[in-house]
Homo-oligomer: A and B are copies of this chain.
Amino acid sequence: MFSKACEYGIRASMYIALQSLEGKRVSLKEIAEEIDSPVAFTAKILQQLSRNKIVDSVKGSAGGFQIEKEQIKKIKLSEIVYAIDGDNVYVGCGLGLKKCNANKPCPVHDKFVAIRDNLKNMLESASLQEMTEGLEVGTTYLKR
């Protein structure tokens, strides 16, 4: 569904959000440990998220990553996915045709559009805030 990079990106964002709500800034190392991802690769992804204003990065000793509380409420999963995977998830034919559309559709066009719209709606309505709620009370997990 998503690329590995995107999976790590989403999980990292969720972890940063979780800690930011506690007022804690977190280091790359800690993030990678807590979401069980390769450190250096995660660094690359955090750079992307930082450039795309999804997360704030602070250099130097006592630096790390954080997300402002207001942002945690606003940021939707769709923005994270878009920052890393682009619009691949939303656009593009299920069967790989370059110019598939309602006018000249592939045989599964309508069925795919329906499913993709579901996915899109889900990602556009799921905020980081909402995602952290289960993490806080221990009913959802970011590794294992």
A2 contacts which chain B residues (CB < 8 A)?
Answer: 94, 96
Is A126 an interface position by the 8 A CB rule? yes
Name the distance in Å between A98's Cβ and chain B's nearest Cβ: 7
Count residues of chain A with CB under 8 A from any CB of chain B.
40
Count the copies.
Answer: 2
Is A49 an interface position by the 8 A CB rule? no
User: What 1/0 flags go to A93-111 for Cβ under 8 Å of B?
Assistant: 0111111100011111101
Indicate whether A98 sits within 8 Å of B131 (C-beta atoms), given known contacts A115-B115, A118-B115, A122-B111. no
Is A8 an interface position by the 8 A CB rule? yes
A8 contacts which chain B residues (CB < 8 A)?
Answer: 96
Nearest residue, chain B, Cβ from A116: B1
Is A144 an interface position by the 8 A CB rule? yes
Indicate whether A140 sits within 8 Å of B1 (C-beta atoms), given known contacts A7-B96, A95-B11. no
| Bound CA–CA A136/B2 (angstroms) | 34
Q: Which residues of A contact B (CB under 8 A)?
A: 1-2, 4, 7-8, 10-11, 14, 77, 94-100, 104-109, 111-112, 114-115, 118-119, 122, 126, 131-132, 134-135, 139-144
